[in-house]
Structure 1
């Protein structure tokens, strides 16, 4: 019985791995995604957190400010959730050769590492996430897709012990871009009370 369960687990793992996307799939695509170009200046994002069944748990907006000095960047993120909770994260990002990036922040337990190819970025990291009074270390498989020079679509799968626990989806826009409407307020949906 134990061998049967082990074999079944191995088959499921291989099936899941074969279904995942590979960053090389985007090598010949355009426009080229360079974090130091897109995440430089003022940005705003709109997002949601879903559980593993797809049910939306939270919605949020993020006001972002990116600054770069050579190959080192800082990305400040100020979150406002639909329940009024506010959160701040500051990423410290390093650009290396051939589209490789690494990053860390105070609540990042395992630093982010990944790379860009064409219009896509894939990086992975572990984030300390508070859940019901406890802190869980959640693994993120984070994909960003540059739609044009002013917009990025971001999807991140969250796993714990190899099992999917949820997903985060973000729409990110540059404030100085032409965008799709009035970007003067970074929090059009959730104003502080």
Structure 2
């Protein structure tokens, strides 16, 4: 019975703290992935642990293009410890402000939706740590600042527990 009460309490706390995409319905400028993610972009970011302590910094070079409702974003990461990695997103505009995306380290399909100047994605990502691959759930929020700048805040969790956060600033070159 105590386990059930604890589970109910944790569920209540997480439900109360959830952000809502609807809160951004009339915000401007309006985020359209095909418009912002087009051409060359540059990003600067950091990875924080579950306590908010800085783990890593990184830079990303992005090259994005769209053909109709299908887009591709190539990302080249360089971390402050010298590690390099690449991710290639295949995106699809499903209409009605809904998007889907896949990439080599994304488990299944990333599903997202825009409202006003915000995008919310949720997906699972495989992250290598010391030779082991971990599957982490990402709650990914993007906020368009203006036509050239975007802020990205991602909460990372495993089995519903917070394990870290990624903060990223992206700008068009």
TM-score interval (norm. to shorter): over 0.9
- Per-residue CA deviations over 1:116-146 (Å, capped at 9, x if unaligned) read 0000000101000001210000000000000
Residue from 84, 87, 102 that aligns with 2:85: 87
Gaps of 5+ in 2: none
TM-score, length of structure 2 as denominator length: 0.98
Higher-strand-fraction structure: 2
Tell me, in whole angstroms, the C-alpha distance in 2 between the residues paired with 1:31 and 1:69. 23
Residue from 130, 152, 158 that aligns with 2:128: 130
Tell me, in whole angstroms, the C-alpha distance in 2 between the residues paired with 1:111 and 1:81. 26
Give the superposition deviation at 1:74.
0.1
Residue in 2 that maps onto 1:191: none
Is 1:169 equivalent to 2:172 in the alignment? no
Tell me, in whole angstroms, the C-alpha distance in 1 between the residues paired with 2:163 and 2:9. 20
Is 1:32 equivalent to 2:2 in the alignment? no
- Per-residue CA deviations over 1:96-135 (Å, capped at 9, x if unaligned) read 1111000000010131101000000001010000012100
Residue in 1 that maps onto 2:152: 154
Residue in 2 that maps onto 1:182: none
Residue from 110, 113, 135 that aligns with 1:112: 110
- Judge conservation of contact 1:139–1:160 (CA < 8 Å) in 2: yes
Residue in 2 that maps onto 1:11: 9
Give the superposition deviation at 1:35.
0.3
Residue from 76, 79, 85 that aligns with 1:78: 76
- Judge conservation of contact 1:115–1:122 (CA < 8 Å) in 2: yes
Which of 1 and 2 has greater Rg? 1
- Judge conservation of contact 1:110–1:127 (CA < 8 Å) in 2: no
Is 1:42 equivalent to 2:49 in the alignment? no
Give the superposition deviation at 1:49.
0.4
Tell me, in whole angstroms, the C-alpha distance in 2 between the residues paired with 1:14 and 1:144. 25
TM-score, length of structure 1 as denominator length: 0.88
Tell me, in whole angstroms, the C-alpha distance in 1 between the residues paired with 2:146 and 2:116. 12
